[in-house]
Structure formats: structure tokens, C-alpha cells
Chain A
């Protein structure tokens, strides 16, 4: 897909950019509510990193990937790989928010016999594109996809999202070196840079900065944005599509737990945690959910 086609789609579906942003913002809120509800019902899951990437996922599925619901596995589809596989609750919720799967499927998280496993599995959901959960591997797989598509002269783009803690995996830098070397302009990596990982802040575990310089040194075009600013996310994807001969990394500065006041920027909410009913109610309330919706999310059929 080229930039003109993208603009054409935007103008076709939305009167102007601000109505598109409003739409994507509203769906991001749906993603957050579904993800929190799913984690509550599952009794475990990663809320912090699901909330931090909701705006990015909403923009990808709502405006950038252009996946045709009738042909979700078309050869020339754009692909998205959630390399930070623990963000699965947000991914399933994004699919549900944009009609690719029923909400009930997204809410049946981590349940035996159901598809929405703790980390995405391509044999459960073809839309997952690959199976992730072991950090670094989704990124390498996305690189292989971009290389394979280019080799076969298929003009699709590949997007992949990495967590910031994930960047401590050596495989990520093997991959970064190879994508730069191969000049994969059809590849866009997005870093959900929420500054926190499982045990503590990145800088206390293993410092990542200077991050943009690292990627540039590996041959990438690097863009830094505020990862909750939908207009900035849209602009960064436009920019990525315009870059020739190099892959692009969008370093999206985000807030872990974004949208739920008591979770924001708290390492405690990274991990696979059990949400109490009270905590879930408080979270849904802070996500501007109506009281009817809260009741449906907490007690509705799944």
C-alpha cells in the first residue's frame, strides 16, 4: 500500500483527520476496557503493558493495516506481529474492537479450550501472523516476513511491536543489524517505550538509552513520538512509508498502565497479576465506562 492509497482511505471514511482521531481514540478506550475485563476474568495477565500499547494498536488496526475482514489472509495483506506477546490481552481486544473476532473470544482469556491463550498463537488466530511470547522472536519473524515478501515482489508492509524490556534480548540486535543490512523499507518496528519492565524501571535493570541513536547506528530510520498521541502515531506511520531503503523504528514514549490512574507508571502492574473485582471496577470507571458497561464487562456472558 502506498501513501496515496492511505490518504484516499482516510478521506473516504472520515470527513477529516480529527474525526479519524476521535474514532481511533474511542476504539482505544474499548481496547483498554476489554483488556482489563479479560485480565479480571482470567485471574492473570499483564495489564500495564496492555494499556500502554492500546493507542498504538488502535491506530494500527483502525487506520494503517487496512485488513480486509473478508480476506484477512490475502497474500498482499499488511502484517502485524506483536513481538511483546504478553500484550496479548490488548491484541485480542484490538481485534474485537475492530470486528475481526467476537468480544466473547477476547474476554475468554487464558481459559482452557479457548483460543485466547496467554500469549498469541498463530494456529489459534491466523491474524496473529506468528506465535510469540518469547521476547525477540516475533521481531526476527517479522524480519523474515518482510524479506520473504520483498523476495516475492509482494508490496505488503510488515509492522511489529516490541516492548522496551524486550530490547535487552540479544536476538533483537541480531535482528536490527540484519534488517538494516537488508534495507527492509517494508518493515516498521514500534517500541512501546513505557520505561518499566517486570521488576523495575528499565534504567535500573539494564539501561536502554541512547535508544534512537542505537537504532540509527544499526541502519534504521528512527522516529520518536508520544505514543498516546494518535495524530503523532498516524504521522509516524506516514513517515515510515515514505522512507526508502531503510526500515523504520517508531519509538513511542508511553505510560505503563495508561488510562487507569492507580496503575500508571507502577512496575507492580507489569506482571501477570490477579485483578480483584474492586480493582477492576475502579479501572473500568477510570476508563470512562458507563455503569451499564461495567456491569456487562464484569458479569456479562462470555
Chain B
């Protein structure tokens, strides 16, 4: 079993997009073939740092995401490593370009999506991408990543730029909760146990990781021992870690800022159902569109916060006990 990652819980760190933009700029000094494609929202995605440092490697495509996405495939065909950046919801707009011109052609393109899920907040339902993990996960060959905090974002940015193959990675708009210290080690395809536990496993990605840790604290006060697993790579998912969680804790709760269908919850279910099935409860937006509101308010409204994860854990444990009777 993997050792628990060193944690450093604090609030109001860099947003994930800022952490991404800074890390991208740093790695780009080492890898000259990294270029950035933007659709008129460099300030929103964090790539303004890169633009300032490397104006000649920054390509402005205007508000035309379909052309930008397919052009990234063409740039990669000439040996460059294009980083395509826009809001997550506009990555969905260019999904078919990502499918054909990037994934099907096996191009080394990194699609980095800011403003995922309810994290967009006041822009409302039209802007809140609650389907992107499912959509990109369904594309063969596409690696899908959603880091939890700024430190993990920095490491993930470096890792995806050194990885050869198409990647879809979520960043985030809100100030992130500090979870990891510099001792954390992000690796594509690997999850980590953040807190040991034996009664239930809480598997989370992105903004839900800190909420899962909150839930474990709530459960501990009731004498329930919850294992918390950070699962930053949704595809390929860390099957070994999940099977161990299923066998050792007997039930699982997944938590994601995404529709409960097709994202992390789907990936976790698929991973364990064939070899070590157990009761699973899903925390996420329950197949509805979002609405305007502050991200924290929306997380409460759509029942994505720690207390709701804790309730889901109790349901999962009850189901486990019912089966074992």
C-alpha cells in the first residue's frame, strides 16, 4: 500500500490556473518546443505569464476554439508541443476536433481547461462544464487529469509536458486550498492515500479532495474511520489503489465537481466492478445544469461539501453492512 502523502492544509493558495500558468512558463524555459494557443482569454486561463515571457511562442487564435483545437494537432505534427488553453466548457465545443485531429491522430497536444464545473460560479449554468471529464474520458488515448491544489498543479503541469501523448487537464478559477507540501509526488496514473481509514474510502479529485478530507474529519468524530484517496488522474485510473480500497474498506464514496455520470464516479466504478465490487455512493452534480452563485454557495446547494460526503459515507457503510449480514 502507498504511504500517505505529506499534507499541508491551509486556505487561499494560488488558484490552480495561476499555478498552472507559472509552472508552464517555468517548464517552457527547459522545453523550447512548448507553444501556447489561446482563444482570447489568456488572463482567465493563467497563460498570460507564458505570453509575457515568450511572446513569440504564444499564438492568439481569437474566439474560435474549433480551429484552434485542430490547428494544435497540426502544430504538433511539425514537432511542437502545443498547449491549448480555454475554459472547460469551450473544450466541449471543440470536442470533436480534440477527438479527430488530436487523439485519433495521436498528437502530443495538451488541452488545459480552466473554469471547470461549479467553480465558474456567477457566470452561471451556461458556463459550468459538468460534462468534460466524461466526454474527454471517452476518447481513446486521452489522458484525463484534475489536480487538487496548487502544488499538485505545478507538478502535474511539468509531468504532462514531459509526457508524450494527448492530455486533457482541468485547472481551476477559485483560490485553492493548500493540501500538499513540497514533499508530494504527482505521477500520471497514480492516486495517493491522504488519510488512512478502514470503514470507507473517499475517492476525490480537484476541489473535492479538500472536502473529502473535511468529511473524514466529520466521520472521525463519530468513530468512523475513512480513508481519503486523491485521484488526480481520472484516466488511466489507478486500479490497484482502488481495488485495495474496495477490499480493505468494503465501500467507496466518489466526489467530483462534475455530473455524477461518466466522470470520476464512473471511472472508479468501472475499475472495481470487474474485480472487487463494493457499494459505491456518488457525490457530484446530480444530472442537472448549474446556475449562478458563488462557488461555495453552489457546492452547498448541489451537496458537494464535506457534510454531504460524510452522509454518503454513512449510506455506503450501511449498504456494506446490509450485504454482509
Contacts and interface: CB of A to CB of B under 8 A. Distances in A.
B101 A130 contact: yes
Interface string A146-157: 111101101000
A144 to B, nearest CB: 2
Contacts of A136: 66, 70
Contacts, number: 108
Contacts of B43: none
B79 A147 contact: no
A148 B75 contact: yes
Interface string A161-188: 0000000001100110110010000000
A136 B101 CA distance: 11
A65 to B, nearest CB: 16
Contact of B75 (A121, A131, A144): A144
B75 A140 contact: no
B255 interface: no
A134 B67 CA distance: 13
B71 A141 contact: yes
- Of the four ranges (under 10, 10 to 19, 20 to 34, 35 or more), the interface on chain B belongs to 20 to 34
A148 B77 contact: yes
Given A137-B100, A151-B80, A170 B72 contact: no
B77 A129 contact: yes
Given A148-B78, A149-B78, A140 B71 contact: yes
B73 A141 contact: yes
A144 B70 contact: yes
Contact of A143 (B71, B82, B96): B71
A144 B71 contact: yes
Contacts of B57: 151
A145 B67 contact: no
A301 to B, nearest CB: 31
B96 A140 contact: no
Nearest to A128: B105
Contact of B105 (A123, A154, A170, A178): A123
A217 interface: no
A43 interface: no
Given A131-B104, A134-B96, A141 B77 contact: yes
Contact of A144 (B56, B77, B100, B104): B77
Size category of the A interface is 20 to 34
A104 to B, nearest CB: 25
B97 interface: yes
Contacts of A134: 96, 100
B58 to A, nearest CB: 11
A260 interface: no
B266 to A, nearest CB: 26
Q: Which of B64, B70, B77 has the most CB of A within 10 A?
A: B70
B105 A140 contact: no
B73 A130 contact: yes
A69 to B, nearest CB: 20
B70 A140 contact: yes
B150 interface: no
Interface in A189-231: none
B220 to A, nearest CB: 51
Contacts of B97: 137, 140, 171
A133 interface: yes
Contacts of A142: 74
A6 B220 CA distance: 77
A146 B57 CA distance: 15
Nearest to A130: B105
Interface in A67-99: 75
Interface in A105-133: 121-123, 129-133
Nearest to A134: B100
Contacts of A123: 104-106
A147 B74 CA distance: 8
B302 interface: no
Contact of A140 (B67, B76, B80): B67
Interface in A5-35: none
24 contacts: A122-B77, A123-B106, A129-B77, A130-B77, A140-B66, A140-B67, A140-B71, A140-B97, A143-B67, A144-B72, A144-B75, A145-B77, A147-B71, A148-B75, A148-B80, A151-B56, A151-B78, A151-B80, A152-B79, A171-B66, A171-B97, A174-B67, A177-B64, A178-B61
Closest 4 CB pairs of A and B: A144-B74, A144-B71, A148-B78, A140-B70
Given A130-B77, A141-B71, A141-B101, 15 more contacts: A122-B106, A129-B77, A132-B100, A134-B96, A140-B67, A140-B97, A141-B105, A142-B74, A144-B76, A147-B71, A147-B74, A148-B79, A171-B70, A171-B97, A178-B64
